[in-house]
Amino acid sequence: MARVLVTETIAEGGLDRLRAAGHEVDVRTGLSPEDLLAAVPGAHALIIRSATQVTAEVLDAGSDLVVVGRAGIGLDNVDVAHATARGVMVVNAPQSNILSTAEHTMGMLLALARNIPQAHAALTAGRWERSKWEGVELADKVLGVVGLGRIGKLVAQRASAFGMRIVAHDPFVAPERARQLGIELLDLDELAAAADFVTLHVVKTPETLGMIGRDFFAKAKPGIRVVNVSRGGVVDEDALAEAIRDGVCGGAALDVFGSEPTTDSPLFELPQMVVTPHLGASTREAQDKAGDTIAEQVGLALAGEFVPFAVNVSAAEASEAVRPYLPLAERLGALFASLVGGAPSVLEVEYQGQIADHDTRILTLSALKGLFSASSDEPVSYVNAPQLAAERGMEVRDTATATARHYVNLVSLRGADHSIAGTLVGLQAEARIVVVDDHTVDVPPADHMLVVRNDDRPGVIGRVGTILGDAGININDMDVGRSPEGASALMVVATSSPVPAPVQDALRAAEGVVSVAAL
């Protein structure tokens, strides 16, 4: 099926899932950058963790790549922008290690407060230093949580159980949502001045790089303690060492570093430091979850299906209300391309009904994916479908209205004087094509369909059926639609097999038939 290159240790359960799907799983750990460039050509998927650097050069060498999967959260070792430009999907496993990381943060918080590693080292070295390693309680202390995402919220909940007061900094969280969690939102300077402890739960970006640095410590509460189990580089390690030596910072617990792996740092010489070698996600449960999740995401990407954790696809997180419509939107796009005979210069996508209350951008991507799949010489994904539209000069307009006259929800495509619309019906959410070229019909989408325009007069339907029957083609489904004016009719016919070109020509020549389009 596809070659999946795996360059770091991944839980075998996930790899077995890919093998069971028929893919060739090529495990090559410990590759140098040069070895990686030699190994990636011919691979359709690349699975990594944090050590492999997926640079633009690697992506260019992997000309067959469909997807890069990161078994974990952080993506600072992947050139996501270049992957997007190349039409390569990037996926991660954002929920696999959130619990492990939150628990490790709490462990580091407690170890920092009570000097547990230092006391352990002294005692095992033969020194009973009970008075030297006096600690502080967490109860009634202020914890500043920087980054109130999934992990930050878990840490806040657990710290609250210790009697800590929680403040947070996160410009992407609404104050009302923070109030619901019992957390006060502050700007970073206010948090620095108020907090006894700070925990970091942010991604590494130009904005967060070195955010805990000299400016932060200059405004910080004396004796503030810092815990970082997020990404290396978020804490300026030189500034931290300086703040600890000057007594501005009471100590720090770091699980991540600006350069990894690292075994030599001025921080390691400071007795106020607690350090671990990037263990936040290093639990058996987290590794199993990451392996299973990334294998599932890569498998979906290789199959050209919806990938929930694609990070470089707009609106990749489809809501439960929207997700059932993804296959319908893709099928409508494919049928529309056949109806138009290509791609229109302007494609209008409209959502009517309850679905309009949700984010429908992923449905537009699905429609584009279906529209271009039959005509592109490269695999079409949620990533490169908009690029194909731009390259072809196609303008895409999508609109949404909560008003729907005849259906609870309706997805419509229109352009180049053609239109098609569909919906889901019944408890089983069965797909139905309900509008073709402004004619009302009701027929399930099928692999082989004909749209026959005809004069609205007796005998035409019979002639169409006779021609198909004489050719040995069975009609699986059929519906006749009338235009709003009633001046002409249209048939949508689902057949058991493709209708050959000579049979289509015979239909076009039949009395009363205006046009025939094979979808």
Cα dihedral 55, 57, 63, 65 in deg (nearest 10)? -10
For residue 315, what pLDDT band results from cuts at 50, 70 and 90? very low
- Give me the pLDDT at residue 500, please: 92
What is the percent of the chain where pLDDT is above 70?
A: 95
Cβ(350)–Cβ(422) below 8 Å: no
- Give the three-class secondary structure for 404: coil
Q: How far is residue 484 CA from its own chain's centroid?
A: 42
Which residues 6+ apart lie within 8 Å of 144 measured at CB? 167, 168, 169, 186, 191, 192, 194, 195, 197, 198, 199
How distant, in Å, are the alpha carbons of 40, 45, 121 from that of 4?
9, 5, 44
Q: How far apart, in whole angstroms, are the C-alpha atoms of residue 154 and residue 326?
A: 32
> What mean pLDDT is reported for the chain?
90
pLDDT at 501 over 60: yes
- Give me the pLDDT at residue 484, please: 67
Q: How far apart, in whole angstroms, are the C-alpha atoms of residue 151 and residue 154?
A: 5
Task: Return the residue matching tokens 């059926």.
Answer: 465
Q: Which residue has the higher pLDDT, 18 or 308?
A: 18
User: Domains of the chain (ranges plus CATH)?
Assistant: 3-95+285-302 (3.40.50.720), 98-275 (3.40.50.720), 323-518 (3.30.1330.90)
- Give me the pLDDT at residue 377, please: 52
Task: Return the residue matching tokens 């699975």.
Answer: 47
How many other C-beta atoms lie within 10 A of the C-beta of residue 218? 12
Q: How far apart, in whole angstroms, are the C-alpha atoms of residue 363 and residue 330?
A: 8
pLDDT at 443 over 90: yes
Q: What are phi and psi of 418, to 5 degrees?
A: -130, 160
Q: Which residue has the higher pLDDT, 179 or 268?
A: 268
Report CA torsion sign: 7, 11, 12, 18. Answer: negative
- Give me the pLDDT at residue 410, please: 94
- Give the three-class secondary structure for 88: coil
Q: What DSSP string runs through 287-323?
A: HHHHHHHHHHHHHHHHTT---TTBTTSTT-S--TTTG
pLDDT at 316 over 50: no
Range from 18-27, 74-83, 252-261, 263-272 carrying the lowest mean pLDDT: 74-83
- Give me the pLDDT at residue 379, please: 56
Average pLDDT over residues 252-271: 94
pLDDT at 391 over 90: no
Average pLDDT over residues 58-67: 95
- Give me the pLDDT at residue 386, please: 83
pLDDT at 332 over 90: yes
Q: For residue range 122-148, list pLDDT tens digits in order.
A: 999 999 999 999 999 999 999 999 998
- Give me the pLDDT at residue 238, please: 96
Task: Return the residue matching tokens 């696999």.
Answer: 96
Which residues 6+ apart lie within 8 Å of 376 measured at CB? 388
pLDDT at 376 over 70: no
Q: For residue range 447-482, list pLDDT tens digits in order.
A: 899 999 888 888 888 999 999 999 999 999 998 887
Which residues 6+ apart lie within 8 Å of 459 measured at CB? 511, 512
pLDDT at 120 over 70: yes
Q: How far apart, in whole angstroms, are the C-alpha atoms of residue 22 and residue 303?
A: 12
Q: For residue range 204-220, list pLDDT tens digits in order.
A: 877 889 999 999 999 99
Catalytic residues: 231, 260, 278
Q: Cis omega (within 30 of 0) on the bond before 206?
A: no
Range from 86-100, 106-120, 127-141 carrying the lowest mean pLDDT: 86-100
Q: How far apart, in whole angstroms, are the C-alpha atoms of residue 292 and residue 304?
A: 19
Report CA torsion sign: 374, 380, 386, 390. Answer: negative
For residue 312, what pLDDT band results from cuts at 50, 70 and 90? confident
